């Protein structure tokens, strides 16, 4: 009561503090008014106004969330052949109703096809122009991503997802293996790399051309940039499906933040999702996706010890893979080779 009394005029605050005047109880009126206003905002697809009004108190927030849960599934024309929308979580429903991108949260203007891993099916999501181009750019790798509602999906464009390379059975196998996968991480080394001082741009000089009888240009490489130091962490991850004899070992040379995410992931499922979304190169990504979508668990044996066989520790051997395909990158120091932490 004293806190509410501070919001009125100073000459009237003493009356409210002593109880001589009381604040009116508008809870019943507010409920009716809030229902009308929120219904108007939801039908008008005005998300900014809806959430601003719903932030008044707990009751208005509950009314908005209840309205979102009662939304019908959108009926749309699907050029890819009968795929429904990603409409399972509350955040997905908000994105569809208020025309928001389900990948970045911006204003949506396109619709893209993805694989919804949790439901093992193709689904349509709302995307902005930039994220729509990203989904088409990932058609070679079918890379993973997270929606704003934390749902894990595979981006791959129309060609990869509607073809025979990744069908519904593969999606179901991937969903099942994500729930039972086991991983083990070993830090191999810390490394420092340096870039070549030769910049990407080359100076050009003008030389006479006797054949053409006129002056032509020829390339001349000169120092156009500064050398910089790049720090990376090399880790080894073994991936196994319980009951499956085949395992996969991945050696990654990645940045410190990404390595920390992989090492400190709360579960093997979260670690695999990070690997599929950003941590692997194209070849490793294809290998892991093929393994996770095709590996089948063998029937459990009568001996429970064989079913719970611990994972073998991957070899802690540095491969220096970061500079393998980068001709302008040179190794300065590796803790796995020199015995010192870089």
The predicted-structure confidence for 9-36, as pLDDT tens digits, reads as follows: 667 777 777 777 776 666 677 778 888 8
pLDDT tens figures, 56-91: 888 888 889 999 999 888 887 766 666 788 888 999
Mean pLDDT calculated for residue range 131-157: 79
246 to each of 55, 60, 291, 292, 342, how far by Cα in Å?
Answer: 52, 54, 9, 11, 34
| pLDDT at res. 247 | 85
In the predicted structure, residue 105 carries a pLDDT above the cut 80: yes
Per-residue pLDDT band for 161 (boundaries 50, 70, 90) equals very low
Using a cut of 0.85, tell me whether the model's pTM lies above it.
no
Please tell me the predicted confidence (pLDDT) of residue 5: 54
Q: What's CA 333's distance to the chain center, in Å?
A: 32
Average pLDDT over residues 254-272: 89
**Containing H/E element for 269?**
helix 268-274
Distance, CA of 83 to CA of 90 (rounded, Å): 20
Q: Encode pLDDT of 220-252 as tens digits.
A: 333 445 677 888 888 888 998 887 878 888 888
Q: Which residues pair with 291 in a beta bridge?
A: none
DSSP E strands, 211-306: 214-220, 229-240, 247-254
Is pLDDT above 50 for 276?
Answer: yes
Segments making up each domain of the chain, as ranges? 2-69, 90-166, 178-198+227-300+307-338
């Amino acid at each position: 009561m004293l806190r509410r009394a501070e919001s009125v005029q100073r000459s009237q605050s003493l009356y409210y503090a002593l109880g001589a005047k009381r604040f009116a109880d508008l809870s019943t009126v507010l409920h009716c008014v809030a229902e009308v206003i929120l219904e108007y905002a939801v039908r008008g697809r005005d998300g900014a106004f809806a959430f601003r009004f719903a932030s008044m108190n707990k009751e208005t927030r509950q009314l908005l969330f209840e309205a979102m849960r009662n939304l019908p599934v959108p009926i749309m024309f699907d050029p890819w052949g009968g795929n429904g929308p990603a409409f399972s979580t509350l955040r997905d429903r908000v994105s569809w109703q208020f025309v928001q991108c389900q990948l970045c949260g911006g204003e949506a203007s396109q619709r893209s096809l993805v694989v919804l891993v949790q439901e093992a099916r193709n689904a349509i999501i709302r995307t902005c122009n930039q994220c729509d181009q990203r989904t088409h750019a990932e058609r070679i790798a079918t890379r993973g991503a997270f929606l704003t509602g934390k749902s894990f999906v595979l981006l791959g464009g129309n060609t990869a997802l509607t073809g025979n390379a990744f069908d519904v059975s593969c999606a179901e196998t991937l969903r099942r293996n994500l729930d039972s996968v086991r991983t083990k991480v070993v830090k191999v080394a810390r490394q420092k790399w340096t870039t070549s001082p030769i910049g990407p741009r080359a100076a050009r000089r003008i030389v006479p051309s006797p054949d053409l009888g006129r002056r032509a240009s020829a390339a001349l490489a000169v120092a156009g940039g500064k050398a910089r130091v790049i720090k990376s962490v090399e880790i080894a991850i073994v991936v196994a499906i319980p009951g499956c004899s085949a395992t996969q070992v991945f050696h990654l040379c990645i940045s410190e933040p990404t390595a920390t995410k992989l090492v400190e992931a709360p579960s093997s499922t979260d670690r695999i999702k990070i690997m599929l979304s950003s941590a692997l190169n194209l070849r490793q990504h294809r290998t892991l996706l093929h393994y996770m979508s095709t590996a089948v668990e063998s029937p459990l044996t009568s001996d429970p010890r064989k079913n719970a066989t611990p994972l073998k520790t991957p070899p802690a051997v540095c491969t220096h893979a970061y500079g393998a395909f980068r001709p302008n990158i040179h190794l300065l120091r590796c803790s796995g080779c020199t015995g010192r932490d870089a």
